Chain A
Amino acid sequence: MDQQSDIASGPQGAGRHDTTLSAVRLGLRLLSVGPLLILIVLILAIGMVTPNFLSPGNVSNILAQTAVIAIVAMGQHLVILTRGIDLSVGANLALATVIGGLAYRWADSAVIVMLAMVLSGAAVGAVNGIVYVFGRLPHPFIITLATLSICRGLALQFAIGHTTMRGMPEAIATIGGASTFGVPNSFFVVFAVAAVLVVLAKAMVWGRWIYAVGGKPDAAVQMGIPVRGVLVSTYVISGLCAGIGAVVLAGRTQAGSPLYGNLLELDTIAAVIIGGASFLGGRGHVGHALIGAIMIGVIRNALNLLGVNIFFQMIAIGLIIVIAVEGDVLRNHLEARARSMHAGQG
């Protein structure tokens, strides 16, 4: 390779330079597969300690419990790709289930109820994106925090004092709660959302623009990318995913509730970061959100099986987030090292 001969002809200490550079490269590669490795090790380790963990019933249980986090995390990941954050997803999902519950009272039609939930989610996302971009806010933190509060309030208001609104159309209950060949149907929803988002993010021009906006917003403007539209779209998709998550959750529980999705924003942000996407924007893919969501599901489930209490579960997830963010910092550090080493090669 070119680069090899360049290094070989380098001025001084070529050999040492070479080994350090490969060490840095190895470090970067390890970091990029780290989350998946950790997940596999985690599953094997827990499987050995608690035999019940890998039983078909429990695996399908984990998949079902992870589905909502996974779906919403995939939307969240697009927002994080553009250096943003969507704090409203949990409340957005709750509002969508309540609106679904109201729609069900009005018409026992799976299509109408589903549309109501998904559109409600997307509409909240659109508000987030439009106010953030056209209101020229410095950061989406504030607006999504505001819609978190507004959505939760609206959900409670619309549910008029009920904590649950029982009943969902048959088809929605099947999507959220039933299984096909032992695989929860909700898992197929995860799969479908993942497939669509992978195509959008990796195969389509729009996806490339999302990465560009996240990588360097100023340059995206200079290159003529419609930055505002791209930003708004990520919040709409995030809201849409919250709406789809609402369908799955309302289906599984056959109810809507203004209390659903509590702390879902934390779970989804954690999933994206634990899975290996960068909080600094521009880095990450759908797989990261999925790996992170499954890791959270696995840890919760295992701690449950082991009888560890829920407070410790929260602490454990928090600690893992810290480790994941440090991994992100370390990656940037290693990249800077690699860069300065290439500089010596001319």
Chain B
Amino acid sequence: MSTPSETAFDELALVNRARSGDMRAFSDLVTRYDRKIFRLARHITQSDEDAEDVLQETFLKSFQHLGEFQGNSKFYTWIVRIAVNESLMKLRKRKTDRTVSIDESIDTGEETMVREIAAWDEDPEQRYSREELGEILGKAVDSLRPAFRTVFVLRDIEDLSTEETAAALSLSIPAVKSRLLRARLQLREKLTRFFKRKGDDVFAYL
């Protein structure tokens, strides 16, 4: 088994070979991460078609800008950043009435409020089939605003660290943390209605 630093070293070697025109090395990098990038783009854009465009643009751009890759971050974090930007551009194009930006200033007040409290089942997902569950979870994530959704997808679905997420999104660490908290609390609230224990009352507090 290889340690993270071995992987990074091995990857830097691949990047260097790709930079000097070795297309095989570049293909290796592509097939290592294309599924993750596609999934990520699909979560942010909510569209298979847009996600495929984002995927192609991401790897085309990463190849064209390979010279700018510093090697002090992971290659994956670097392409995630490109993929997130491409995905947000797709969203912007689609929703001309509303600016979509992960830099939008976030009103921190209202969104930390907890309005619904109801205890959940011990194994809440048992109540639903795999398809139903996938749909419930997907719709809940989709309903978050992009600034929160993007952070949640990177941190809790793609398992990036707080630091990697901050780097990929050009956000400060406190900003990542506060958005993640709000995303998690909003999801919790949205899911409560599906997963709460039968007969438990839903009531507000705070």
Report if A and B associate in a common complex.
no
